[in-house]
Amino acid sequence: MPKLDDRLKAVAVQIRSTVHADIGSDHGHLLKALLTAGRIQRGIAIEVNQRPFDNSRSTLTGLNADVRLADGLAGLNPDEADSLSICGMGGELITRILQSHPDRVPADLVLQSNRRPEAVRDWALRSGFHLVDEQLVIGRLRYVILRFQRNGNCPDPAYKSVDRDAALLFGPLLVRRWEPEFERILVDEYEYLRRLNRRTESSQHRLDVLSKLLRRKGD
């Protein structure tokens, strides 16, 4: 994929549809890569700020893409897109965007939060979306790329036989795969939290879940 870092490459390979919308498009490189690679036929870039809107419009000139200045899903019509991506935002903001216009959320989502991915996972569980893929990308920072598909009200099989708290915080598919790099990240966070002199309710909860998860995997 041209002009994409490892994080956006991992996002791009999850996407193949007719019309794809990217919210918070920034520079428009993701949509350009998807269009030039033939992974989508038409793109919709949505940006709330003028400068990134101008950047996306410049990047996507001559390609089959619309660039819109709008606040999240306010810039998308119901049933207009087959798939949607939101990358590089906090989990709470991604969730607020998705909740703002639920009738405009397509059936196929690729979401990458910079923090609190558990908020996105929790939204998906409450909104009838199943987690179908989960990738951890290690670069300048650590990124989790989540792909969801709408699947009604039946339970998400990704969470079957996985501790619910651990699955929400750290990812059910990542916990199932339990790769060495993933384990190292969990151990590092556990040691950091354990050494804190003072912990918030949230950090204590993460420590308790990590302790149980690592102990169980070590048995």
User: 155: which DSSP letter?
Assistant: P
pLDDT at 1 over 60: no
Mean pLDDT of 4-29: 93
Mean pLDDT of 148-165: 92
- Per residue in 115-149, pLDDT (tens digit) is 899 999 999 999 999 999 999 998 777 889 999 99
- Per residue in 63-108, pLDDT (tens digit) is 999 999 999 999 999 999 999 999 989 999 999 999 999 999 999 9
Q: Are strands 83-90 and 65-69 parallel, antiparallel or unpaired?
A: unpaired
CA distance linking residue 7 with residue 139, whole number of Å: 8
**pTM more than 0.95:** no
Mean pLDDT of 149-175: 93
Residues near 90 by beta carbon (within 8 Å), at least 6 away in sequence: 113, 114, 115, 116, 119
CA distances 200 to 158, 192, 211, Å, are 29, 14, 16
Q: Nearest CA to 35 among 45, 26, 24, 23?
A: 45
Distance from first CA to last CA of the chain, Å, rounded? 42
One-letter amino acid for residue 65 of the chain: A
SS3 90: strand
- pLDDT of the residue at 40: 97
How many percent of the chain have pLDDT more than 90?
86
